Amino acid sequence: MMVTLSLFPGGIMQVYDVISNGYWHARSLAYTTTPLARTLEWMRMPGDLVFIFAGAIPLAIAIASGYLSLWRKAAP
């Protein structure tokens, strides 16, 4: 989701800007503050939220429950 909504279109736009204006321009604020670049940057949010809620939070819960279960088994 994040790749199709933001990273791929943003990368294509940035490569086109490198070809047209040079690497220095594609990495400058003149490029990154354009309305289209900002919109693509915000379009990453749905993919990021899916990663956070479906990936990072369950992993943190699994690690915490595994750590706590080690302490429960070790107690006499």
What per-residue confidence (pLDDT) applies to 75? 59
Tokens representing residue 50 in the block: 């899916």
Query: What is the biggest distance separating any 2 CA atoms in the chain, rounded to whole angstroms?
Result: 70
Work out the pLDDT band at 73, boundaries 50, 70, 90.
confident
Work out the pLDDT band at 7, boundaries 50, 70, 90.
confident
Backbone angles phi, psi at 45, to 5 degrees: -55, -45
What per-residue confidence (pLDDT) applies to 41? 86
C-alpha to C-alpha distance for 1 and 46, rounded to whole angstroms = 8
What per-residue confidence (pLDDT) applies to 4? 81
SS3 76: coil
Q: What is the pLDDT of residues 12-33, one digit of tens each?
A: 999 999 999 999 999 999 999 9
* Domain ranges, ordered by start, for the chain: 2-74
Contacts of 5 (CB under 8 A, 6+ apart): 40, 43, 44, 46, 47
